[in-house]
Structure 1
Amino acid sequence: MKFVPMLAGATLALALSVSAQAQTLTGANTEDILAVAKNYGSASMTKQSNGDPQITGKIGGVSYQVYFRNCTNNKNCEDLNFYLGFLDIKPTLEEINDWNFNKRFSRAYLDQDKDACVEMDLDMVQGISAEYLDSQFALWKMVVEQFADHVGYES
Structure 2
Amino acid sequence: MAKIGFIGALCIGLITASSPATAQNVVADVDQIAAILESEGYQAKLIGEKDDRYIKTGMSGYNFLILPFDCDDAGENCKSVQFYIAFATETEPTLEAMNTYASRNRFGRIYLDDDRDPVIEMDIDLEAGGMPKELFMDNLAYWEAIMVAFAEFSLENDRK
Question: Structure 2 CA distance, aligned partners of 1:20 and 1:115?
Answer: 46
Structure 1 partner of 2:94: 92
Question: Structure 2 CA distance, aligned partners of 1:43 and 1:99?
Answer: 30
The equivalences for 1:23-42 within 5 A come to 23-28=24-29, 30-38=30-38, 39=40, 41-42=42-43
Contact 2:89 2:155 in 1 (8 A): no
Query: Deviation above 6 Å: which 4+ runs of structure 1?
Result: none
* Aligned-partner residue type, residue 18 of structure 1: S
1:46: Cα distance to partner? 1.9
Contact 2:69 2:81 in 1 (8 A): yes
Structure 1 partner of 2:143: 140
User: What is the aligned residue count?
Assistant: 151
Structure 2 partner of 1:119: 121
* Aligned-partner residue type, residue 23 of structure 1: Q
Deviations, residues 50-109 of structure 1 (Å, cap 9, x unaligned): 833311011122111010011121121111111110123521112211221111121111
* Aligned-partner residue type, residue 58 of structure 2: K
Larger Cα-atom Rg:
2
Q: Secondary structure at the match of 1:151?
A: helix
- Where structure 2 has 5 or more consecutive residues not aligned to the other structure, the ranges are none
Structure 2 partner of 1:151: 154
Contact 2:87 2:154 in 1 (8 A): no
Structure 2 partner of 1:10: 11
